[in-house]
Amino acid sequence: MRFFYLVGAFFLYTFSVVGQNNVERWERFEITLAGPQTGNPFVDVELAAEFSNASEKVKVAGFYDGNGRYKVRFMPRKTGEWKYKTISNNKSLNGKAGVFSCVEPGKDNHGPVQVADTYHFKYTDGKRYYPFGTTLYAWTHQPEGLEEITLKTLANAPFNKVRMCVFPKYYSHVENEPPYYPYVKKSETKDAKGKPKFQWDLSRFEPAFFQHLEKRIDDLKKLGIEADVIIFHPYDKGHWGFDSLGKENDLKYIRYLTARLASFRNVWWSLANEFDYVKTKPRADWDIYTKAVVNADPYGHLCSIHNGSVYYDNWKPEFTHVSIQNGSTVEDFGRATLLKDVFFRPMIYDEVCYEGDLQQRWGHLSGEEMTEAFWQGVIAGTYVTHGETYKNAGDTIFWAKGGRLIGSSPARIGFLRRILEEAPGPLELSDPWKDHHTSRADSSYYLMYLGKNMQPEWEFSLPRKGGPKAGRKFKVEVIDTWNMTVDERPEVFEIAETNDYRIYDKKRTSIRLPMTPYLALRIKEYRE
Amino acid sequence: MRFFYLVGAFFLYTFSVVGQNNVERWERFEITLAGPQTGNPFVDVELAAEFSNASEKVKVAGFYDGNGRYKVRFMPRKTGEWKYKTISNNKSLNGKAGVFSCVEPGKDNHGPVQVADTYHFKYTDGKRYYPFGTTLYAWTHQPEGLEEITLKTLANAPFNKVRMCVFPKYYSHVENEPPYYPYVKKSETKDAKGKPKFQWDLSRFEPAFFQHLEKRIDDLKKLGIEADVIIFHPYDKGHWGFDSLGKENDLKYIRYLTARLASFRNVWWSLANEFDYVKTKPRADWDIYTKAVVNADPYGHLCSIHNGSVYYDNWKPEFTHVSIQNGSTVEDFGRATLLKDVFFRPMIYDEVCYEGDLQQRWGHLSGEEMTEAFWQGVIAGTYVTHGETYKNAGDTIFWAKGGRLIGSSPARIGFLRRILEEAPGPLELSDPWKDHHTSRADSSYYLMYLGKNMQPEWEFSLPRKGGPKAGRKFKVEVIDTWNMTVDERPEVFEIAETNDYRIYDKKRTSIRLPMTPYLALRIKEYRE
């Protein structure tokens, strides 16, 4: 390793600045500069760069990446020529200038995900994004082989978002030491009980840790998956102490992390998982942390905070969407919409218990229950995140370490994702206080979820509010959400005149339904 | 009338200031001053007074009460000697000083209601206040006789809060002209269709209107009822135009209203009913109105805003509690708690549809449904407001005009109120995400609501979180919430050791339940 460092250092000193000539819109432009290795570069050296095109000027922070290498990263949001110039308190890093060209994005590059239509999301290029996330808290702190298996699993899974912690997690089912630590280890001792005690040099980040994290975020990007990066979490129990570094170190860590990651287009900021369980940080400090993240991010990545049992002030302007833990919200009809309507921003029920077989009550949803939770959420115009906690012998628990998925819900979640992506737009309940089954994209498209109760027949009936005018015609598909079948019915329904709260078919036609739970109806305008 | 005015004026000019010598704590101290009648006293004259005792100084606005009388009202919150001195731009009103004594409150005077324990209420003297409100939007705009009937009804009803509009209401079932108008009428014409058109002098309030309102608020006070005073509402339809006076007149009205009413200890401010249906006021203006009310109120009366179909920003610091319209929140288990947990302040579901027989879907809850709504709310640690909309022949609709109550829910609401007032303190769900039936005041008192489903037996079982330790003993009363009976069961249950999420009786004893819907269980510690 020492030999490699020397070679690297030699190579670096032969140029003063390295950057690409071309970069796709919303891709990462990176300049690498050679600079001092003496002293403490993390403390002594300040580095930033100003990027400008004809109309815009963006200042971004740089960071020390170890071995005398300094980097500044930038995500251009407009095509065309860009210039940059570095600013540093170190002569060798200051005033370095260059130009590059921002070119049209490639076909799988739709830009960062943004809020759209108040409650929903779009990629920056306008393509719809419906979050179907999963939870992989500590997947990047596992042995190389396991991480590769996780990526293969994700390549074949329906998920387009992953909730993942920056810091390693120390918790039941995940107590292994990670390959990398975020800080340079000064020493490791053992306490009276033989438990390891770590002493960190909190003035020195470990670049390899962050480089590895970045590689994994890029791996997710290649799979079209957004990385919902959890900046703080409470799962430490005094093992490493990363949950209790003190406010000054926390803010340094935020500056370093955002300097490294803000240019990654698939990054979302999740200030914390279960912020209220991080007992070392008072509630008032989360406002400071949140502002630190948002102020350090020139691109306005999506940003949220996730609760344990007490909600945070999700209406604060820094949060782009709401990330809620509360399984009961998507357990039954009429609930998911209640919280959504409060915040006027997208609602993701990011933790609703997990499909699995753990003893703990948050860890043993059946596949049916997990699937039902997704349908309850989607029908209400909200989104739901998956997680799997089967303690399957010889393997790992997906929710913690990653590995393979064995649950029955992911296939059904994929089926729902396809249905939603085929819709003309995002869903909203048509009549949210009175009909908790019927959502719509517009007056030509309804998706109605019937839940676990079975009913022998369904009479054509929709909420009148915003609904189709008399004379318009519809056909119905019966969807079995569990068996993943779609059965188009031959009946053509014609909307009758009405003054009622609901609209009906002219002939009051009903259709027979199979005696199966978890059915849905897709009701689409029919043009002969 | 003219003769009376002259006499009054003569009498007034014989003294310069009149005030009581003694006033109860939290009662109204009022000084009356004689002043100019020429010009426009509402516009020309500014009047305030500074009240001070040994430790406190409070400045309050005065107001013109017609006929050359000017008033300043004050609610002393501390016993002992108080001094005051007036401040005015009119010589005859300026610098008037006096003293009075604030004495101990009488036995029915507990002071204004305040927030207590985050989600609940207390009178200022510490007595618990559990809101059991009803809705009487336009009851003070009816003929004298009907208003007196309403007061008699309230004297025998279980309600301790009334939601009532300052401005008259023009809406279905209440289209009569009120005896008083808030502004001086310049003229009244008729449009092409024969509908009256009013021209108001918006620079002159009509003191008689406000004097009448005040009399009714005092009538409520005598009955121990809080007046939830609705400052704006949308029910005008261009008839009087009181919903569209313009921002400047709205703010003048707020100043006048608060100067008159802030000293009434049973007043709550409700900025609006269905604020979002007041189409003439943009959403941003409600912040201005709210701040105007709160800044003009030196006593910190309870303050909220009530929505139509879109919620306001109930987390804003001016609001002491949340006043929500949404019937679906208390229709089924697991809902009422969801919105409550967002705001960290008391939640009153102030409009959950009404018991009645109207065609409109918000106006035909059965008595059972209205009663169920109250239980759903109370079990979740929230509060619910009643309203009645029976279009009973020959009478009036209580919800609009007042009169008599004919519904079946008020008696049951009174029964629930007594149960809650007998509890050792306010209720909270014990395990809000998992058990939506079981609330508790402390580990010795549980109230469990079973809802409309019937079950033949109940096995003793409570959430473990915060629950009683092993060895403690309990007895159970079976409450029929509809038939208003309480049946104490002989069984004594003893808490067993457990590591589960729930605690059980040592012998796993069950009790038989009657095959009746709407049962509740009151589970209280038993000491032999």
DSSP letter string over B83-147? Answer: EEEEEESSGGGTT-EEEEEEEPPPTT----EEEETTTEEEETTS-B----EEE-TTGGGS-HHHH
Residue B195 confidence (pLDDT): 87
* pLDDT for residue B528: 81
Picking from B335, B342, B501, the nearest residue to A311 by CB comes out as: B342
Distance to chain B for A314, nearest Cα, Å: 9
Q: DSSP letters of B44-56?
A: H--EEEEEE-SS-
Cα–Cα separations (whole angstroms), residue B352 to A145, B273, B307, B323, B371: 57, 13, 12, 11, 11
User: Which pairs from B12-19 meet CB under 8 Å and 24+ separation?
Assistant: B12/B67, B12/B68, B12/B69, B13/B68, B16/B92, B16/B96, B17/B86, B17/B96, B17/B98, B19/B84, B19/B98, B19/B100
Q: Determine whether domain A113-422 maps to CATH 3.30.870.10.
A: no
**Does position B442 have pLDDT exceeding 50, yes or no?**
yes
Span B310-325, mean pLDDT?
Answer: 98
CA–CA distance, B334 with A376 (Å, rounded to integer):
14
Of B313, B327, B332, the CB nearest to A315: B313
Strand, helix or coil for residue B519: strand
Question: Contact at 8 Å (CB) between B211 and B73?
Answer: no
Beta carbons within 10 angstroms of residue B518's beta carbon: 20
The pLDDT of A169-178, averaged and rounded, is 91
Which candidate from B310, B338, B433 shows the least CB-CB separation from A338? Answer: B338
**A window 404-443, beta carbon within 8 A of B:** 432-434, 436
φ/ψ region of A254 (left if φ > 0, alpha if ψ in -120 to 50, else beta) reads alpha
Integer Cα distance of B96 and B87 in angstroms: 8
**Does the CB of B527 have a partner CB in chain A at under 8 Å?**
no
Q: Which residues of chain A from 307 to 326 reach within 8 Å of chain B, CB to CB?
A: 309-311, 313-315, 326
pLDDT digits (tens, 9 = 90+) for B132-180: 999 999 999 999 999 999 999 999 999 999 999 999 999 988 889 999 9
* Spatial CB neighbours of A479, under 8 Å, sequence gap ≥ 6: A419, A485, A486, A487, A519, A520, A521, A522
Output the pLDDT for position B393.
56
Residue B194 binned pLDDT confidence (cut-offs 50, 70, 90)? confident
Q: Do A361 and B326 touch (CB under 8 A)?
A: no
* Minimum Cα–Cα distance from B501: chain A residue: A361
Question: Nearest C-alpha of chain A: how many angstroms from B348?
Answer: 15
CB proximity A497 to B under 8 Å: no
- Band of the pLDDT at A1, cuts 50, 70, 90? very low
Task: Cite the DSSP H helix spans in A277-366.
Answer: 283-295, 336-343
**CA distance to partner chain A, nearest, from residue B329 (Å):** 8
Q: Within A171-309, where are the H helices?
A: 207-222, 247-261, 283-295
Whether B6 shows a pLDDT value over 50: the answer reads no
pLDDT of B172 reads: 87
Chain A residue with Cα closest to B502? A361
CB contacts, 8 Å: B434 with chain A: 328, 361
Quick one: tokens of A307?
A: 């609760």
- Please, which pLDDT band fits residue A8 given cuts at 50, 70 and 90? very low
Band of pLDDT at residue A393, cut at 50, 70 and 90: low
Residue corresponding to tokens 């019927």: A438
Question: Do residues B70 and B35 lie in contact, with contact meaning Cβ atoms separated by under 8 Å?
Answer: yes
Q: Nearest Cα to A384, choosing from A114, A153, A124, A159?
A: A159
pLDDT at A173: 87
Chain B contacts of A315, Cβ < 8 Å? 313, 315
Q: Which residues are registered as beta bridge partners of A503?
A: A462
Distance between CA A359 and CA A349 in Å, rounded?
A: 22
Q: Is B193 on the interface with A (CB under 8 A)?
A: no
Looking at per-residue confidence, does A220 or B1 come out higher?
A220
- Does the pLDDT at position B189 exceed 80? yes
B335 vs A contacts (CB less than 8 Å): 334-335, 338
Are residues A342 and B311, on separate chains, in Cβ contact within 8 Å? yes
Q: What is the mean pLDDT of chain A?
A: 95
Helices A367-379 and A336-343 cross at an angle (nearest 10°) of 40
Q: Provide the pLDDT for residue A21.
A: 87
Chain B's closest residue to A324, CA to CA, is B342
**Contact residues on chain B for A310, CB-CB shorter than 8 A:** 341
For residues B497 and B328, what is the distance between their CA atoms, to the nearest angstrom? 39
Residues of chain A with CATH 3.20.20.80: 113-422
Which of A328, A347, A382, A428 would best serve as a mutation to test chain B binding (most B beta carbons within 10 A)? A328
Question: Cβ contacts (< 8 Å) between A436 and chain B: which residues?
Answer: 328
Model confidence at A16, pLDDT cuts 50, 70, 90, reads low
Q: Encode pLDDT of A250-303 as tens digits.
A: 999 999 999 999 999 999 999 999 999 999 999 999 999 999 999 999 999 999
Q: Which of A433, A435, A453 to mutate to test the interface with B (most CBs of B within 10 A)?
A: A433
Residue B7, pLDDT score: 40
Distance from CA of B153 to the nearest CA of A (A): 32
Q: Which CATH architecture group holds B122-422?
A: Alpha-Beta Barrel (3.20)
Are B334 and A339 within 8 A, CB to CB?
no
Cβ neighbours of A434 in B, within 8 Å? 328, 361
CATH topology of domain B2-103: Immunoglobulin-like (2.60.40)
Separation CA A23–CA A51 (nearest Å): 14
B500–A contact, CB cutoff 8 A: no
Q: Which amino acid is at B60?
A: V
- How confident is the model over A366-377, as a mean pLDDT? 98
Beta strands in A426-525 (DSSP E): 428-431, 435-442, 445-451, 457-459, 461-463, 473-480, 485-488, 493-494, 502-504, 510-512, 519-525
Amino acid in position B414? G
The reply to whether residue B328 touches residue A338, judged by beta carbons under 8 angstroms, is: yes
Q: How far is CA A362 from the centre of its chain?
A: 21
Question: A311 and B501: CB-CB below 8 Å?
Answer: no
So what's the pLDDT on residue A528?
Answer: 81
Q: Residue A502: closest CA among chain B residues belongs to which residue?
A: B361
Give tens-digit pLDDT for A475-492: 999 999 999 999 999 999
The answer to whether B328 contacts A436, with C-beta atoms less than 8 Å apart, is: yes
Number of CB pairs < 8 Å for A and B?
54
Residue range B428-525, CATH number = 2.60.40.3950
| Cα–Cα dist B17/B268, whole Å | 29
Check CB contact of B190 with chain A, cutoff 8 Å: no
Distance, in angstroms, between B500 CA and closest chain A CA? Answer: 10
Tell me the residue type at B88: S
At B369 the three-state DSSP class reads: helix
Q: How confident is the model at residue A101 (pLDDT cuts 50, 70, 90)?
A: very high
Please tell me which of the candidates A315, A334, A342 has its beta carbon nearest to residue B339.
Answer: A342
* Coil/strand/helix, residue B293: helix
Is some CB atom of chain A closer than 8 A to the CB atom of B327?
Answer: yes
Q: Judge whether A118 is closer than 8 Å to chain B, CB to CB.
A: no
* Rounded CA separation A457/B506 (Å): 47
Q: Mean pLDDT across the stretch B196-219? A: 97
A10 confidence band (pLDDT: 50, 70, 90) = very low
Query: A262 with A301: CB under 8 angstroms?
Result: yes
Residues in contact with B220: Cβ distance below 8 Å, sequence separation at least 6, in sequence order? B154, B162, B226, B227, B266
Render pLDDT for A394-432 as a digit per residue (tens, 0 to 9).
668 999 999 999 999 999 999 999 999 999 999 999 999
- Residue A332 and residue B331: Cβ atoms within 8 Å? no
d(CA B391, CA B142): 17
Residue B119's nearest CA partner among B107, B129, B127 is: B129
Query: Environment class of residue B405 by beta-carbon count within 10 Å: exposed (0-12), middle (13-18) or buried (19+)?
Result: buried
For residues B465-488, give the mean pLDDT.
97
End-to-end CA, chain A: 71
- Distance, in Å, from the CA atom of B383 to the CA atom of B130, rounded to the nearest integer, reads 8
Q: Is B526 on the interface with A (CB under 8 A)?
A: no
Q: Does B341 lie at the interface with A, CB-CB under 8 angstroms?
A: yes
Q: What pLDDT is attached to residue B17? A: 63
Q: What pLDDT, in 10s, does the model give residues A112-145?
A: 999 999 999 999 999 999 999 999 999 999 999 9
For residue B327, list chain A residues with Cβ-Cβ distance below 8 A: 433
* Strand (E) or helix (H) holding A125: none
Which of B287, B325, B329, B342 to substitute to test the interface with A, most A CBs within 10 Å? B342
Map residue A259 onto helix, strand or coil.
Answer: helix
Answer for the pair A256, A231: CB distance below 8 angstroms, yes or no.
Answer: no
Q: What is the pLDDT of residues B96-144, one digit of tens each?
A: 999 999 999 999 999 999 999 999 999 999 999 999 999 999 999 999 9
* pLDDT band at B1; cut points 50, 70, 90: very low
Short-list A373, A362, A38, CA closest to A172? A362
pLDDT at A12 over 50: no
Q: Which residues of A220-253 are buried (b: 16+ CB within 10 A; e: fewer)?
A: bbebebbbbbbbbbbbbeebbbbbebeeeebbbb
* pLDDT per position as a tens digit, B223-272: 999 999 999 999 999 999 999 999 999 999 999 999 999 999 999 999 99
User: Measured between alpha carbons, how far is B257 from B245 in angstroms, rounded to an integer?
Assistant: 15
| From A311, A334, A433, residue closest to B341, measured CB to CB | A311
CATH 2.60.40.10 location in chain B: 2-103
Distance from CA of A147 to the nearest CA of B (A): 34
Residues of chain A with CATH 2.60.40.3950: 428-525
Residue A44, classed as helix, strand or coil, is helix
Residue of chain B with shortest Cα separation from A335:
B335
Residue A107 touches chain B, beta carbons under 8 Å:
no
Q: Pick from B314, B335, B436: which is nearest to A338 by CB? A: B335
Whether A466 has its CB under 8 Å from any CB of chain B: the answer is no
